[in-house]
Amino acid sequence: MAKPIMYKYLIKHPGEEAAGIRSFTDIISIGVESGDPGGELQGEDSFAECMRQTLQEWYDGADVIFAAVLG
């Protein structure tokens, strides 16, 4: 059985006072229990980059930085 992998991302949102959104930072962790998310390990077609782009869309206006792969 493969060892689980944890992907970590740092979210840094500058806020938007006119819309009532305060600035914030957060850390998002995505766990892959199988240890194999499939696809490329690095690069623009990798699982890590796909998840970074998805989080970028979800946290509109924030910087999303891929921080680490633990596993």
pLDDT band at residue 69 using 50, 70 and 90 as cut-offs: confident
Residue 63 to residue 43: CA distance in whole angstroms: 18
Residue 28 to residue 64: CA distance in whole angstroms: 10
Per-residue pLDDT reduced to its tens digit, 4-61: 999 999 999 998 888 888 999 999 999 999 988 888 877 888 999 999 999 999 998 8
